[in-house]
């Protein structure tokens, strides 16, 4: 959550300060939340919008200077993606849209960053998930792989795909796909991947899938695979650098619709 995420960020910044990086001002900002009234009422702690790109910039510089541990380098990769998105939209507009505090100028700010990945209209169905993905999923879950049509897989594989694929591609992509492709009577009319853009979303999905498949092939048990996946390709919602923004997104009402296979 927000407090825990802020605490982990502060600890991370202290470790960089010990390595000679000047981050005292940034640490002070992380430790100084702003009390505000969220859209649903009550009180909540938030942070100035520009703290996210500032933290990302420090992490990227630390990586370029070779000051990050091997286990921390994936955080720098996520920061580079975020900085690219922030540059295209503007972080203040992005946070305003995410939290419901938007003016006319920022009204579609989040859509502008997400449209790089999510298309305005769904694409014609083309096989996108390799059979190796389902074959490895079945092996790790102890489920027989269907060898003859129709390929009927357990319904919960859709939940697993949302977890290991869509929630790890880019920030808030899964939420946007669910919005574009809602469940009707427990089923979605299209597959989530049909809503990805040709130029960015689809190539990123295919690249991510082969990373996941490669990891799957290394392990004999789901738990061991998943533990490594969490370390190498973490969910964006689990990254401390996104905890501040994600905490404020939770203040916005959302539907509790069932999640059918993607």
Q: For each of the chain's 262 residues, which pLDDT tens digit applies?
A: 455 667 788 888 888 888 888 887 888 888 888 777 776 777 777 777 678 778 888 888 888 888 888 877 778 877 877 776 665 555 555 555 555 544 433 345 455 555 656 565 655 655 668 888 999 999 999 999 888 777 788 989 989 998 999 888 877 788 888 877 788 877 787 778 776 877 777 888 888 888 899 999 989 999 999 999 988 888 876 555 554 444 444 433 333 333 344 4
Statement: the pTM of the whole predicted model exceeds 0.85 = no
- Identify which of 103, 112, 123, 100 has the alpha carbon closest to the alpha carbon of residue 44: 100
Rounded to the nearest 10 degrees, the angle between the axes of helix 91-99 and helix 240-249 is 40
Instruction: Assign 35 to helix, strand or coil.
Output: strand
Give the total residue count for the chain.
262
Domain ranges (residues) in the chain: 2-106, 131-249
Is the four-CA dihedral 179, 105, 115, 252 of positive or negative sign? negative
């Amino acid at each position: 959550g927000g407090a825990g995420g802020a605490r982990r960020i502060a600890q991370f910044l202290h470790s960089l300060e010990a390595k000679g990086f000047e981050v005292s001002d940034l640490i002070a900002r992380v430790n100084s939340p702003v009390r505000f009234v969220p859209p649903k009422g009550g009180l909540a702690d938030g942070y100035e919008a520009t703290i996210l790109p500032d933290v990302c910039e420090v992490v990227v510089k630390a990586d370029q200077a070779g000051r990050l541990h091997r286990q921390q380098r994936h955080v720098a990769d996520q920061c580079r993606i975020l900085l690219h998105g922030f540059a295209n939209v503007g972080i203040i507009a992005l946070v305003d849209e995410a939290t419901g505090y938007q003016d006319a100028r920022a009204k579609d700010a989040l859509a502008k960053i997400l449209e790089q990945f999510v298309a305005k209209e769904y694409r014609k169905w083309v096989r996108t998930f390799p059979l190796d993905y389902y074959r490895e999923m079945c092996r790790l879950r102890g489920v027989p792989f269907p060898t003859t049509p129709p390929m009927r897989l357990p319904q919960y594989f859709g939940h697993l795909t949302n977890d290991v694929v869509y929630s790890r591609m880019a920030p808030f992509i899964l939420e946007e796909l669910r919005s574009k492709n809602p469940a009707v009577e427990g089923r979605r009319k299209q597959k989530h991947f049909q809503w990805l853009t040709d130029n960015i979303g689809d190539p990123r999905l295919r690249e991510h899938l082969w990373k996941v498949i490669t990891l799957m092939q290394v392990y004999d048990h789901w738990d061991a695979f998943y533990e490594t996946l969490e370390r190498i390709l973490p969910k964006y919602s689990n990254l401390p650098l996104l905890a501040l923004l994600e905490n404020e997104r939770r203040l916005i009402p959302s539907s509790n619709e069932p999640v059918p296979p993607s």
